[in-house]
Amino acid sequence: MKNKLSWFAVPYVVWMALMVVIPILIMVVYAFTTAEFEGTVENFSEMGAYASVFLRSFRLAIIATLVCLLIGYPVAYWMAHEGPGFQRVAMALIMLPMWMNFLLRTYSWMSILENNGLLNQFFRSVRLVDVYNQIALHFAADPALYKPTDYIPMIGTSGAVVLGMVYNYLPFMILPIYSVILKLDHSLLEAARDLGADSAGVFRKVILPLSLPGVLSGVTMVFVPSVSTFAISRLLGGGTQMMLGDLIEQQFLGGAYDPHLGAAISMVMMVIVVLCMVVMNHFGEGEEQAVML
Amino acid sequence: MSKELIRLADCVMAFDDEIVLDKINLSIQDKEFLTLLGPSGCGKTTTLRIIGGFQTPTSGDVLFDGVRINSVPPHKRTINTVFQKYALFPHLNVYENIAFGLRIPKADASGKKVRLPEEEIDRRVMEMLEVVNLRGFEKRRTTQLSGGQQQRVAIARALVNRPKVLLLDEPLGALDLKLRKDMQNELKRIQKAMEITFVYVTHDQEEALAMSDTVVVMDGGKIQQIGSPEDIYNEPKNAFVADFIGESNIIDGIMRADGVVEIFNRRFQCLDGGFARDEEVDVVIRPEDVDIVPEDQGQLKGTVTSVTFKGMQYDIIVDFYGFKWLIQTTDLSPVGSRIGIKIDPDGIHVMKKSEYSGMFGDYSSYSEEYEEISDASYALDEEESGDEE
Ligand SMILES: Nc1ncnc2c1ncn2[C@@H]1O[C@H](COP(=O)(O)OP(=O)(O)OP(=O)(O)O)[C@@H](O)[C@H]1O
Ligand SMILES: [Mg+2]
């Protein structure tokens, strides 16, 4: 399809140029230069040192996306099948946390997950900590050396980081899936039944494939911010779970000041993310493309 | 040889206290082409959905082969549906749409779920594509098909499962006139060839008369009349049926004796009887059953108030003593001329009075609609524009 540019598109084009294209160009320039702005590829060859951060970022982001999908799809499906009154309430509940500041939300999770936090106080009161000690002792490499704790370690683990990401990004999974399922033509479901499909068959052969575009855009909208997340990993990961976002932040604002390396890392991350999206969209080929960004 | 396949017994359907179907009693014979005919909102789709299993009647029974199936879900009925808007699966191509039902494992005699072998599926899909004239379209996406082609995919998708009954909900509604006619013949041919019971929904009376073995006329959630197309047309049970099926003049009359009915204080011979003496009745006279004769030879005399050219014939509106009739004739009688009419006894149909009496069969408004047009085209032939007051 050919798209002719009309004059109405001009403000949009200018905006995109200023806010998207030029920044990306600047990033590319930085990535391929030294502090004295001489051309180099050293920024990339140095990056091997951070392979573990790359791996962790993608691993945690994939886990968070899968968890979001596993929770989000059933929730979206169930919401779409309830009455409009219920849907309004559910929608409000899903959006509500998003009206709160992101850092505030994450700090709240810190105080919940801390060794002396709300959850651990609860666990202690119901003696879950003892159970935990039993299990930990059982699996400990050297039981003799195992020291019982009076808390279940949560903060500072990769689990806490995944939890933080799931909590923050779950709405972005639920909403697109919900709206696709809601718009499904009811007569298609009746047609499937008419042709002999039972409930499971209708779901597998009609609802699931037709809601794939929603799943695709949900996955994109959760995965992209998850890979590049920072702050969540720092606050809930307790410094042990550095992710790409933190690494990049350090190069620009933190102690390891090196914007050129930061730009190079950003670029590599972008390329990998775009590749992931291309591969994924290929699965849904023909259907409406997942909305990117 | 005809045997009852489906029976609706006293079926009532109510949505939030609003009664949509009121004690429907209907018997559908094996291998017949039965049409539900009626105006929008009369409950045709609802009746079809009860047969298909998508709706459970509020009260009453649905019997299939003598077995009560009220609560049998759609996927367990040997009935398939062609939906009002086709409902083709947009994520599947034509071939896979048609194969959809075949790919679902079915319980065999021992109750074990078995899948059809791929060759069998392929053979049957290809056979169906042949039947609906869509060979070569297998790989097309359904969204890339024309309305008529989508329609045929929908029919193939239902028929490939070899149902005992096929339900069709206004399947030709979206097609243009020419395609409609072709598809009517096509459907009739398929129904004969495959020997399947068709339950067909339409609000087009011509379509209903042309295709059906049995026509069921519905209005306001009630069945008004069940009969063969000829019965329905020739012996309408009440003013609603008479008006809905074809054009009719419906006039108040009084039954003076068996075979004698009085209209406008004149007695006419008719073939109907069995009414009480001097019973008030509705008399139906079809526009094509009226013969135009010179004024002095007519049983009734009137003034032509409008003429519309319809291709095959002229539709003329004639004013008899203030009551306007529609008459179809091949001879032109100009506006303003005085004519007489004659009606043969078999052109007069007498009906009992019903709740519909007085609501239909008067062409006063019709003539006004056309007056200007007819004035323009026929004023030339007239000595003066002899329009009535
Ligand atoms: N699910 C429902 N809830 C409430 N009312 C309904 C429902 N389905 C149908 N109705 C009502 O039942 C009546 C009959 O509807 P139905 O769809 O059977 O009409 P129809 O004869 O098929 O009309 P059309 O020719 O317009 O398709 C209508 O007044 C409609 O508003
Ligand atoms: Mg309908």
- pLDDT tens for A190-207 read 999 999 999 999 999 999
Burial label, B221 (beta-carbon count in 10 A; 0-12, 13-18, 19+): buried
Same domain, B277 and B363: yes
pLDDT at A289 over 80: no
Classify B362 as helix, strand or coil. Answer: coil
A196 close to B (CB below 8 A): yes
Which pLDDT band holds residue B368 (cuts at 50, 70, 90)? Answer: very low
Residues on chain A touching B81 (C-beta within 8 angstroms)? 190-191, 194
Same domain, B242 and B173: no
A197 close to B (CB below 8 A): yes
Q: Tokens representing B66? A: 């003598």
Which of A284-288, B101-105, B368-372 is modeled with the greatest confidence?
B101-105
Handedness of CA B44, B49, B52, B58 (dihedral sign): negative
Sheet bearing B314-320, strands edge to edge: B290-293, B338-343, B300-309, B314-320, B323-329
- Residue with the smallest CA separation from ligand 1 atom 16 is B43
Handedness of CA A153, A156, A159, A161 (dihedral sign): positive
A42 close to B (CB below 8 A): no
Q: If phi over 0 gives left and psi between -120 and 50 gives alpha, with beta otherwise, what is residue A35? A: alpha
At the topology level, CATH places domain A50-114+154-292 in: MetI-like fold (1.10.3720)
Average pLDDT, chain B: 86
Residue type at A44 in one-letter notation = F
How confident is the model over B344-368, as a mean pLDDT?
79
pLDDT of residue B283: 92
Q: If phi over 0 gives left and psi between -120 and 50 gives alpha, with beta otherwise, what is residue B380? A: alpha
Same domain, B258 and B147: no
pLDDT of residue B366: 60
Q: What is the pLDDT of residues A234-248, one digit of tens each?
A: 899 888 888 999 999
Cα–Cα distances in Å, from B220 out to B23, B25, B38, B217? 12, 15, 9, 11
**Probe site for chain A from B45, B85, B89 (most A CB atoms < 10 A):** B89
Pick the more confident residue, B110 or B226.
Answer: B226
Please identify, among B212, B233, B254, the residue that sits at the C-terminal boundary of a domain: B233
Same domain, B152 and B289: no
Same domain, B253 and B350: yes
Write out the residues surrounding ion ligand 2, Cβ under 5 A.
B 45
User: What size, in residues, is chain A?
Assistant: 293
Please identify, among B169, B204, B233, the residue that sits at the C-terminal boundary of a domain: B233
Same domain, B167 and B253: no
| Contact by Cβ (8 Å): A53, A243 | yes
How confident is the model over B173-185, as a mean pLDDT?
83
- Weakest mean pLDDT among A22-31, A184-193, B100-109: B100-109
Give the domain range for residue B110.
4-233
- Residue with the smallest CA separation from ligand 1 atom 17 is B45
Helical H segments across chain A, by residue range: 10-16, 22-31, 42-45, 51-80, 84-95, 102-113, 118-125, 128-139, 158-183, 186-194, 199-202, 208-227, 232-237, 244-252, 259-283
pLDDT at B34 over 50: yes
B56 close to A (CB below 8 A): no
Residues on chain A touching B54 (C-beta within 8 angstroms)? 190, 193-194
Q: What is the pLDDT of residues B71-89, one digit of tens each?
A: 899 998 999 999 988 899 9
* ipTM score of complex: 0.78
Same domain, B114 and B246: no
Same domain, B223 and B281: no
The CA-based dihedral angle spanning residues B206, B209, B215, B217, taken in that order and rounded to the nearest 10 degrees: 30
Ligand 1 atom closest to Cα of residue B38: 21
B45 lines ligand 1 (CB under 6 A): yes
Q: Identify each DSSP E strand in B94-164 by its residue range.
A: 106-107, 113-114
Q: Tokens representing A172? A: 């972005």
Q: How many domains does chain B have?
A: 2
Q: Tokens representing B269? A: 């011979």
What is the DSSP secondary structure assignment for residue B83, as one 8-state letter?
B
Q: What is the pTM of this model?
A: 0.79
Q: Tokens representing B23? A: 């004690």
| Contact by Cβ (8 Å): B168, B37 | no
Classify B103 as helix, strand or coil. Answer: coil
Please identify, among B194, B213, B233, the residue that sits at the C-terminal boundary of a domain: B233
Q: If phi over 0 gives left and psi between -120 and 50 gives alpha, with beta otherwise, what is residue B275? A: beta
Question: ∠B328-B329-B331 over CA atoms, to 5°?
Answer: 155
Residue type at B63 in one-letter notation = L
Measure B32 CA to nearest chain A CA, in Å. Answer: 21
- Return the domain boundaries, chain A: 50-114+154-292
Same domain, B184 and B275: no
pLDDT of residue B112: 83
Burial annotation A92-125 (CB, 10 A radius, 16+ → b, else e): eebeeeeeeeeeeebeebeebbbeebebbeebee
Ligand 1 atom closest to Cα of residue B15: 4
Find the closest chain A residue to B54 by CA distance: A190
Q: How many CA atoms lie within 13 A of A188 on its CB side?
A: 22
B294 close to A (CB below 8 A): no
Residue pairs spanning A and B at CB distance below 8 A: 58
CATH number at residue B377: 2.40.50.140
Measure B90 CA to nearest chain A CA, in Å. Answer: 8
CATH number at residue B222: 3.40.50.300
Ligand 1 atom closest to Cα of residue B55: 1
Q: Which residue has the tokens 């459970």?
A: B56
